[in-house]
Amino acid sequence: MKQENQQAPVSKNEVVTVTFEDLTSEGLGVGKVEGYPLFVVDGLPGEQAKVKVTKVGKSYGFARIEERLTTSQDRIPTRDALGTQVGTMPLQHLRYEAQLAFKHNVVKQDLTRIGKLPHIEVLPTIGMDNPWGYRNKAQIPVRAKDGKLVTGFFRKKTHELVPMKNFHIQDPKIDEAIVVVRDILQEYGVKAYDEKKHTGMIRHIMIRRGYHTGEMMVVLVTRTPKLFPISKIVPDILGALPEVVSIVHNINPKRNNVILGEESVVLHGEDVFHDQLLGHTFAISSKSFYQVNPVQTEKLYQLALDAAELTGEETVIDAYCGIGTITLALAEKAKHVFAMEIVEDSILMAEKNAKENGIENVTFEVGAAEEVLPKWAGEGVKADVIVVDPPRKGLEQAFIEAAVEVGPEKIVYVSCNPATLARDLAIFAEKGYHATTAQPVDMFPQTLHVETVVALHKEK
């Protein structure tokens, strides 16, 4: 380590003056000393500050601000310091227009540096009119403090709960419901989960709410199967929250960081609530994936539909179909859609949603995309268009190989991670599928995340 420190022009605990030149994809300010980058929380490009070095590595270090000497015109007052401490709103100090520009730049940089695809034009990021209160789902940990139940979020990189009532980026009715449910559990003496001792009862309160329907689902995640007194807790929740149509008791007895356990018991209604998207009504279960920003999801999916350019004659494959949110919209404009999803519960919901919306030209299958698509390709399934919306890790090599074998004229890629998008686009380019533009969409204002829609065309 000594040798590493000698190579750096700064040492730990040294105070230096830097001018921030850029933001990293994690939102840290980048200031340089003799070309050596220091990454600093709460530093914005153009600002000058005295910083204290906290960690020195071979090629970069970390520091914290001691004194801000100049202030960026893009800096705005922090709405809630707690949102920075726990990491739920890491960009809340940055003017919203500048957030959109930052996300545009992240996509551009990744396509250039990782994908070696500088020719792809990155369009301006599509933002929100009101970039607050958009999340339709909350999974909030419950712990004990001074003998009372508290809800909030964990301080960054710790398991220390910071009590919070207002998350600002969540639907305000969800924030209110979390506190109402917590206080009802408190009234009946339900004990909070103790992570270190693996004792206690209530681990998380999850609330999901339909943006268009107002329907609300409450999920109580506990360590053990017994939850007393259910006969009083359920009526009290229903009395205090008239929008609640479903109460689910989920049991997670394991010592892990996974929120939901495998076993669930329905305490009220069904394990389902409803919402609407692109003119369709969707039934959504407690374990189903459903995009958390309904306003931007409609914009995102409409972009994907527009990119597919369907005429009614095409066969489409929808990989990672979830509960069928984009599948049903594709089916209305295509001849037939083949859709796959690894989560069995989601496929059950997708089939139910197709039936309830009167859509019959869809074939659903449970399985991992990288396993199902090669199987379909081996069976001779051909498609004119493939739509992919993978998790952050992007596409598996086996899926890409199978997609090329299927030979669609077009692949529409909906990405939640510009880095893996860039990697995958480079692989597709080698195999004869090219993109000319990328459209970022801000699904998660005040955070570092960005979604991107790209249409790939088969080389003629």
Asked if 275 contacts 428 with a C-beta cutoff of 8 angstroms, the reply is no
* Marked catalytic residue, from 241, 400, 416, 425: 416
Amino acid at 112: T
Q: DSSP for 21-53?
A: EEE-TTS-EEEEETTEEEEETT--TT-EEEEEE
Catalytic site includes residue 416: yes
Give the bridge partners for 275, in sequence order: 282
Separation CA 414–CA 411 (nearest Å):
10
User: CA 259 to CA 256: how far, in whole Å?
Assistant: 8
Q: Are 48 and 69 within 8 A, CB to CB?
A: yes
Q: Which two tokens stand for residue 343?
A: 């989560």
Helix (H) or strand (E) holding 9: none
Collect contacts of 162-168 with beta carbons under 8 A, ≥24 apart. Answer: 162/82, 162/85, 162/86, 164/82, 164/86, 166/80, 167/83, 167/88, 167/135, 167/138, 168/79, 168/80, 168/83, 168/89, 168/92, 168/132, 168/133, 168/446
User: From the centroid of its chain, how far is CA 414?
Assistant: 13
Structure tokens at 51: 């910083």
Tokens of 447: 């955070």
Q: How many residues does the chain have?
A: 460
The answer to whether the beta carbons of residues 100 and 125 sit under 8 Å apart is yes
Q: How many helices (H) and strands (E) does the chain have?
A: 11, 23
The per-residue b/e assignment along 182-193, b for 16 or more CB within 10 angstroms, e otherwise, is: bebbbeeebebb
The vertex-346 CA angle with 342 and 352, nearest 5°, equals 135
CA distance 177 to 218: 9
Cα–Cα distance measured from residue 411 to residue 458, given in angstroms and rounded to the nearest whole number: 8
Catalytic sites, residue numbers: 416
